[in-house]
Structures are given as structure tokens and as C-alpha cells.
Amino acid sequence: MAVRLSVLDLATAGGDVTPRDALLGSAELAKRAEAWGYGRYWFSEHHNMPSIVSSTPAVLAGFIAANTERIRVGAGGVMLPNHSPLIVAEQYGTLETLYPGRIDLGLGRAPGTDLDTVRAMRRSPEASDRFPQDVVELQALLGPSRPGQTVRAIPGEGTNVPLYILGSSLFGARLAAQLGLPYAFASHFAPAELLNAARLYREEFQPSEALDAPYMIASMNVFAADTEDDAQLLYATALEKMARALSGRSVSSGDRAETEAILRSPVGRHALQMLHYSAVGDGDGAAEQVAAFAAGCGADEVMVAMNVADLPARMRSYELLAARVVTDEAQAVAGG
């Protein structure tokens, strides 16, 4: 089965991997992902998380676009309640002006951080209530100028940067369907509503100028390695990291008994549930799991996530998967 593949990068730091190391590593991974046939390379917006340094997707998208030639780059996504639509339109309009035909703009409704950080950004927790209106405003700012328009995004106006609605619930699926936009589901950490959201999106989709038929991206964790044992170790590392983050003990003491206690706790069980959609195995095994995942939820494209700081291991995982999944047909992604 041909599966369209793309990359979701959290720019993961930690241990001996500094933020600079992580960002330079992202550029190297993007170059290789382009050569391996991945269709797009997205960064997600997170704040106040020591191990995730993708707080400014627009800056990182420009960095990646400058270091690649063909692969689409963008945000997966911009957390729109943290920003004004005008500023986002100017940022991504500038990127599209510099790298025409290569920029994507995924939009999320959550703040991507905690309440204290929301306040530090001078935003209100209620800003997410305006998400549908802000999406429409942003779409208009990126579209052609209108008679009597007094506020314009320059650059941005007329660039028609493709918008994607991101979500982990039925809200985003319904909004994407109503607006006739492509939809990306965050099943790599919020798997519960994936199948319901996919069904609702396809059933309620309304064709638009942007898209004449539904197009859905589903994200999945992939831990591929040369051996099954190595793949299982990568998965275990990611599971422990997530459990520790949820427990508020992000730094490991090296005590195995403590780690096992965390993994057995309710927090550990929650982390296990969050990583439900994970492909773990050698190249063949991981590829089979990804294909089965795409077929099971009806995804047009699988966005691959791997929140592990070990860059060589991440690169090898993406390489092994692409070698078994990417075909000429699969490389043709929507949104161009």
C-alpha cells in the first residue's frame, strides 16, 4: 500500500543534546527527509517545555526552507489563540513570498502550554473561543484584496497559503469540514477520538475553493530500527520521557526502581495510552504497522513523529520507514 509520509518535528533537546544541536539536527533531518521522499516537514508550537525547542514554527520553517529545495515546510501547527491573525498572515505570507509553493500553515486551538505561560504571553485563556472566527479572518488576510479593505497583510495578501485545521477532538474535525479545509489529527499523543473525528470530517465535508474533497492527515509515532530490540528501546525511552513530563519529574535520577514506579503509576498508564498509535519494529514491521494505521483510519497521509533526542536514531527510523513505504505515487502530497 502506498502511504504518503510527512515529518512532525518537535526539535527535541535533552541530555547532551543542546537546543542548538536540536535545531541544527532538524535541518540535517529535513535534507535527508526530502531525499527520502517525505512530502512535508512541520514544526509544532510549544512553550515552556525544556525538551521541546519548537516554540517559533515560523522561524524554523524559514530555516528549513533555506536548507532544502523541494519539501513543503510549515507549522503543525501555529496555536492561533496565542497570536493575532494579522501577524500570522504576515509571517507565513513572508515565507510564501520567499519560498513560493512550499509553505503550509496548520492551525491549532489549544495554547500549547500551561496557564502561567499563557498569561506570560499576555493572552487570555478564553482566546480559544474565537478560533473559528480567527481562522476565517486569517484566510481572508491571505486571500486577494477586497474593496474597502483597510487592514492588509503585506506580505501575505494574495499568497493563499494553504491552511490546515489541527485537532484532537470532534471540534476541529467539524470546523475543517464546514470550512472545506484539510484536517490533521494529533493521534500521536491524543488517540481517543481519531476514528470518530475521521468519520465526522468525511461525512460533513463541504467542498470549497481551497479543497474539493476531504483530505486528512493522521499523525503516528514511529520507532523503527535495524533490530526489534533497538526499536523497543527507542519506544521505552519515549514512554519514560512522556511519563516523567506528566509527573513533573522530567529529569531522570538514574534510579531504575523510580522509573519503574513512574511507569506503573496512573501517570505512566496515561503516557502508555497517549502513545497508543505507535509503530515499533524493524523497517518491515514498522512499515506494515504504518500502512495498517493509515488504512484503519482512512488517512490520506501519515505524519510521522518521534520525540527522541538521539538524532542518529531518529534519522535511521525515518530512513527505514521511507525505504519501504515511499513510492512515486506517495510522494505527491496535497496542498501544492
Choose between 277 and 81: higher pLDDT: 277
CA atoms within 13 A on the CB side of 185: 34
**What whole-number distance in Å separates Cα of residue 76 and Cα of residue 243?**
23
3-state secondary structure string across the chain? CCCEEEEEECCECECCECHHHHHHHHHHHHHHHHHHCCCEEEECCCCCCCCECCCCHHHHHHHHHHCCCCCEEEEEEEEHHHCCHHHHHHHHHHHHHHCCCCEEEEEECCCCCCHHHHHHCCCCHHHHHHHHHHHHHHHHHHCCCCCCCCCCCCCCCCCCCCEEEEECCHHHHHHHHHHCCCEEECCCCCCCCHHHHHHHHHHHCCCCCCCCCCCEEEEEEEEECCCHHHHHHHHHHHHHHHHHHHHCCCCCCCCHHHHHHHHHCHHHHHHHHHCCCEEEECHHHHHHHHHHHHHHHCCCEEEEECCCCCHHHHHHHHHHHHHHHCCHHHHCCCCC
231, 288 contact by CB (below 8 A): no
Domains of the chain, earliest start first: 4-232+276-331 (3.20.20.30)
pLDDT value at position 335?
Answer: 39
CA distance 318 to 260: 29
Nearest to 47, CA basis, from 130, 112, 132? 112
Average pLDDT, the chain: 90
> 152-206, pLDDT tens digit by residue?
999 999 999 999 999 999 999 999 999 999 999 999 999 999 999 999 999 999 9
Q: What residues form DSSP beta bridges with 9?
A: 43
pTM above 0.75, yes or no: yes
Partnered with residue 302 across adjacent β-strands are 5, 218
pLDDT digits 0-9 by tens, 233-248: 999 989 988 888 887 7
335 φψ region: left (φ > 0), alpha (ψ -120 to 50), beta (else): left
Q: What is the model's pLDDT at position 253?
A: 56
Instruction: Band the pLDDT of 112: cuts 50, 70, 90.
Output: low
pLDDT at residue 307 is higher than 90: no
pLDDT digits (tens, 9 = 90+) for 124-140: 777 778 999 999 999 99
Residue of 314, 321, 281, 276 whose CA lies nearest to 297: 276
Inter-CA distances, 118 with 71, 87, 315, Å? 32, 18, 33
253 or 215: which leads in pLDDT: 215
Higher pLDDT residue, 3 or 135? 135
Inform me whether the pLDDT recorded for 215 exceeds 90: yes
Q: Of the candidates 3, 4, 9, 5, which has an alpha carbon nearest to the alpha carbon of residue 305?
A: 9
Q: pLDDT: is 99 or 115 the higher one?
A: 99
Q: Bin 282: left if φ > 0, else alpha if -120 < ψ < 50, else beta.
A: beta
| Torsion angles phi and psi, residue 319, rounded to 5 | -65, -45
